[in-house]
Amino acid sequence: MSKQVESGAEFITKRTQTVWNESGGTISIDGNTGQEKIQISGPSGGNININGKVNSEFAPNNKQTLVHGDQFSTTAGNNFETTKGGKEIRVEEDLTFITGKDTFFTDPIAEDWIEKNIDIAAAKAAPEYNYGAVGNNTETEYPNGGTPDADSGAVEGGNYKPSQSQSDIPGLMESKAADIAATEAQMGVGGNIKMMTAKHFSLMAGTKAVTFDSGVMIPNARKVTKGYEIREGKAEPVHTAVSTYESKDTSGSVPFGDVHVSAASKLRMVAGSGGLSIKTAGEANINTTGRLMLGGSEVAVGGSNKSNTGRITIISDTDLYMEAGTITARNAPNINDIADNTHTFITPQAVFTGNLHVAGDLIVEGEIIANGDITAGGRGGVSLLRHTHKVRGVESGSSTKTSDAPK
């Protein structure tokens, strides 16, 4: 058979093929130059194909792999996997996912980045004006460079200039940019985990919820002042008992059911109109060294349990501020306001629908208008409405005039 030679390479082209055919399958070895391959095929069409570009495997039905020892797989490039049906992975011991460059875990790369950004963060955290302040985490002290309000000593109403630290931020970032970029380059590319589902996502730890008592409510634990009674002109406290919660660690040794989520920088949770529900049979702690904000169309805070001994405690180091656009209401059988110094009501009009007991002096800068009587000296004392004075008149002849005149 003659063949036209197109190039010199045609003179070294090999053309060989070896085939073993049996009823159970076929082994085919091609030795053609540039097309070398070996293929093992089964009667149903399944095959293993090895050539110079790819190792491929085709299973027209099921595929099963059983390894009695360890199994290792390494991919130098990217790895893509597609499952058109469901997928289940069962691990009887631990399952670990680790992403990111290995040196990120062995070298102090994150620590170096934080150290190089400390000055920038401190400048950003500085007050906008040069009034004194303290950082909430680092306790960095920002000096006071102005004059506070003379009446109250507050920054509000005082005289302060804009902070120099704030104005220096762009220049500070520029001076450190190259050094920070070098550290970020050591972090490598990637290191993220992205999980997306078109429908629902379920995460469960443990197969049974642990509902041991995590604490006890003592209905009559604390002695508090219920109110005051006026006895012999003095306000005497009347006491009662209220509940207190005692926390108990009954779940610390449970060997299952824990979920730990730790974010070195930010943790964000966003939900649609279905809402967000967090429910626990134990304590729930939301603690921050920064600002904690709770907001919504309605914010409800309740302290209640099955034994009706729930309570709410609000404690602040300095001030507690409440403001409402329409009304602030408190409703309870007994309400105690205890002020060590002064309790001030600033209002055009104050209304008390019941009795008002004043244990100290009553000083009124305006008028006192009473529809009823005013009695001095306690009950049974002198009545302002019914009290009269005996007034001796000027003697006229042998008679003396006596008149009753209200004071």
| Residue at 36: amino acid letter | E
Would you state the pLDDT for residue 361?
A: 87
Give the residue-averaged pLDDT of 311-316: 88
| 51 pLDDT more than 90 | yes
| 396 pLDDT more than 70 | no
Strongest mean pLDDT among 206-215, 228-237, 370-379: 206-215
Would you state the pLDDT for residue 309?
A: 77
The residues, any chain, with a CB within 8 Å of residue 17's CB and separated by 6 or more, are: 28, 29, 30, 31, 32
Q: Could you give the CA distance from residue 240 to residue 222 in angstroms, rounded to a whole number?
A: 8
| 245 pLDDT more than 80 | yes
Burial class (CB in 10 A: 0-12, 13-18, 19+), 217: middle
Would you state the pLDDT for residue 357?
A: 83
| 26 pLDDT more than 50 | yes
The DSSP bridge pattern shows strands 402-406 and 234-247 to be: unpaired
Contact 25, 40 (CB under 8 A): yes
Contact 3, 11 (CB under 8 A): no
| 374 pLDDT more than 50 | yes
Would you state the pLDDT for residue 15?
A: 82
| 290 pLDDT more than 80 | yes
- State the angle between helix axes of 109-125 and 169-185 in degrees (0 to 180), rounded to the nearest 10: 170
Q: How does pLDDT run across 215-240, given as a tens digit for each residue?
A: 888 888 888 888 888 887 778 888 88
Would you state the pLDDT for residue 75?
A: 94
Q: Could you give the CA distance from residue 118 to residue 138 in angstroms, rounded to a whole number?
A: 10
- Chain mean pLDDT for the chain: 87
Structure tokens at 231: 């006895």
pLDDT-derived band at 305 (thresholds 50, 70, 90) equals: confident
pLDDT-derived band at 401 (thresholds 50, 70, 90) equals: very low
Share of the chain above pLDDT 70, in %: 93
| Residue at 64: amino acid letter | Q
Would you state the pLDDT for residue 395?
A: 46
Would you state the pLDDT for residue 391?
A: 63
Cα-atom radius of gyration of the chain, to the nearest Å?
43
Give the residue-averaged pLDDT of 324-336: 90
CA 346 to chain centre: 36
| 397 pLDDT more than 80 | no
The residues that bridge with 229 in the sheet, in sequence order, are 236
b or e along 120-159 (b: 16 or more beta carbons within 10 Å of the residue's beta carbon)? Answer: beebebbbebbbebeeeeeeeebeeeeebeeeeeebeebe
Question: Which residue is it, tokens 């002020």?
Answer: 339
Q: Could you give the CA distance from residue 57 to residue 48 in angstroms, rounded to a whole number?
A: 4
What is the pTM for the complete model shown? 0.72
Question: Which residue is it, tokens 């020892």?
Answer: 69
- In degrees rounded to 5, what are phi and psi of residue 125? -80, -15
Largest CA distance in the chain: 177
Q: How does pLDDT run across 129-184, given as a tens digit for each residue?
A: 989 899 999 888 888 889 999 988 899 899 999 988 888 899 999 999 999 999 99
pLDDT-derived band at 405 (thresholds 50, 70, 90) equals: very low
| 4 pLDDT more than 80 | no
| 192 pLDDT more than 70 | yes
Cβ-based neighbour number of residue 163 at 10 Å: 19
Would you state the pLDDT for residue 147?
A: 92
Structure tokens at 305: 């349990």
pLDDT-derived band at 381 (thresholds 50, 70, 90) equals: confident
Q: Could you give the CA distance from residue 120 to residue 118 in angstroms, rounded to a whole number?
A: 6
CA 115 to chain centre: 26
